[in-house]
Amino acid sequence: MKITIRAANIDDMPQVHELVKELAIYEKAGHEVTTTAADYVNDFTEGLFEVLLATTEGEIVGIMLYYTTYSTWKGKMIYLEDFVVKKSYRELGVGQQLYDHFIDIVKGKGAKLAKWQVLDWNKPAINFYKKNNAHIEQNWWNVKVFIQQ
């Protein structure tokens, strides 16, 4: 199986959205996805995020959706919002290829830090990140507020 890693384009957004929904279902939160593929097209066009894709034979089998932000302590930072590989392609090295390419992108952008979240029960992901020397913080709490429009 040949995997190609490439940057996403506007035409990829519906498939990217589908993979994000697949991740939400895996995380037992599929009902919380309120974005649409049209939102992805619009927001991607506005430059709000970038997506790295893993493809094989024209099929998108993995994504990393990220954006540039700022750490007041470290400077330029890349935030990895979602990292998902289709279930049937897990444990085949697809995730590692995506991750390695992502780290190259972070370095290429001159960022000092890449940051993301992982659910405490997601042992396969935690083990993957530990294997790749990621530091998993356990003393910070997530805080969010939903804004009603």
- Name the percent of the chain lying above pLDDT 90: 94
- The pLDDT score that the predictor gives to residue 135 is 95
Assign 5 a pLDDT band (cuts: 50, 70, 90).
very high
pLDDT reading at 92 higher than 90: yes
- The pLDDT score that the predictor gives to residue 1 is 83
Q: Span 86-103, mean pLDDT? A: 96
Domain ranges of the chain: 4-131
Predicted confidence (pLDDT) per residue in 26-85, tens digit: 999 999 999 999 999 999 999 999 999 999 999 999 999 999 999 999 999 999 999 999
Residue tagged active-site, from 26, 67, 89, 129: 129
- The pLDDT score that the predictor gives to residue 4 is 97
- Catalytic, 70? Answer no
Superfamily in which the 4-131 domain is placed by CATH = Gcn5-related N-acetyltransferase (GNAT) (3.40.630.30)
pLDDT reading at 149 higher than 90: no
Q: What is the 3-state secondary structure of the chain?
A: CCCEEEECCHHHHHHHHHHHHHHHHHCCCHHHCCCCHHHHHHHHHCCCCEEEEEEECCEEEEEEEEEEEEECCCEEEEEEEEEEECHHHCCCCHHHHHHHHHHHHHHHCCCCEEECCCCCCCHHHHHHHHHCCCCCCCCCCCCCCCCCC
pTM, whole model, 2 decimals? 0.94
